[in-house]
Amino acid sequence: MALKSFPIWGCVKTPRSQMGVSDLGSRISGFGLSLRYDLEKTRKWECCCLVALAHKATTPLEDEKPQLSDADSSKGIEGTQGNEPRGLHKDLNYLPKPLTASKLSCFPNDGAKVRVAYQGLPGAYSEAAALKAYPKCETVPCDEAEAIFKAVELWLVDRAVLPIESSVGGSVHRNYDLLLRHRLHIVGEVQLQVNHCLLGLPGARIKELKRVFSHPQALAQCEMILSDLGIHRISSDDTAGAAQMIASIGKRENGAIASAQAAAIYGLNILSENIQDDDDNITRFLILAREPIIPGTDKPYKTSVVFTLEEGPGVLFKALAVFALREINLTKIESRPQLQQPLRVVDDANEGNAKYFDYLFYIDFEASMAEPRAQYALGHLQEFSRFLRVLGSYPMDANL
């Protein structure tokens, strides 16, 4: 994996260069050496310290993982010899089951590619979004959205993809709430063209189908053809799970709505392609990571924020005006009611308290946090808001 550099944004209490000089001074005094060092020797020692510190600053991310307890470390070193870890590479087709939020098993990382968690089974649209963002990544299925957040937080994976809205079905409200309950950062987005396929067992025909399984949103997006066929609809957790289900049941009267990739994985035939009501069926996914990226100005960027407002007439108008005054285009605004419902909001130390908010406003706008106008806009917004968090500033995805 390529090395990553980190900016120092108020996170380091003592500069590394000062640490090197102080350590040098303590060593000189500790050895009782004479203070009469010539200038050339002093520069040589100082240079050595700085080179060592610079080398340390370029350590890959994989080396900076949390230390495990004695019990955990004893489990982690089973099957290893000496100090050389033995990488256990698992093919997705041989995964025993998806990760769960309550019980997550650690997958070793060979460091050759990024590990990306997604919700669903192999063949899900979320997996396709992960592969679009990282074509050579190793995808890790999880059984629910909560599990992909925990997988990133526990260093089991490097990234996660999360569906956030659909051009047909609208916003995924549950995932908006999870963004606030966890402390992950949005580092990118993926817009995926969704083409639903009607799948059946080998040799089955459309007129034989009596039941069709799929995710509720997929069923709703294919309402017209299902009504014409008069097929009974049965909801499942995800589209790939529906394909796996009818393959395991083995009845020709069952069908599923899923991707073409799911048909190939589970040995099903595609009875009909592109059966969605709207041809422009696009789902937007967010890419999540433990650390934010450094926004730039070399390409179009998008910034996502969440905030609450004081009660009063015209407060929302004033909040939105801070963007209009600076000619910042808003691409999305979503409100989530939280009346009489405590919401746990975490801080920088990943500690949170229950707070009550009437409404939470999620806004996406076309600007980078590296631009002064975006910084001024959020500074102005803080005058009206009781709570404000930047969820991420990341490059826009314009490729469909």
Residue from 239, 283, 303, 308 carrying the catalytic annotation: 283
Out of 139, 213, 239, 285, which one is annotated catalytic? 285
Separation CA 41–CA 49 (nearest Å) = 13
Angle (CA) 344 345 351, round 5°: 95
CB burial string 282-318: b at 16+ within 10 A, e below: ebbbbbbbbebbebeeeeebbbbbbbbbeeeeeeeee
Residue 83 vs residues 37, 67, 77, 155, 333: alpha-carbon distances, Å: 41, 16, 9, 21, 51
Closest CA to 319 of 238, 385, 399: 385
Give, as one character, the DSSP assignment of residue 382: T
Query: Which residue, chain included where needed, has tokens 């459309």?
Result: 206
Closest CA to 118 of 143, 150, 155, 90: 143
Instruction: Answer for the pair 384, 317: CB distance below 8 angstroms, yes or no.
Output: no
For residue 331, indicate whether it is catalytic: no
Annotated active-site residue 387? The verdict is: no
Residues ≥6 apart with Cβ < 8 Å to 175: 145, 162, 163, 164
The CA R_g of the chain, rounded to the nearest whole Å, is: 26
Instruction: List, by residue number, the catalytic residues.
Output: 283, 285
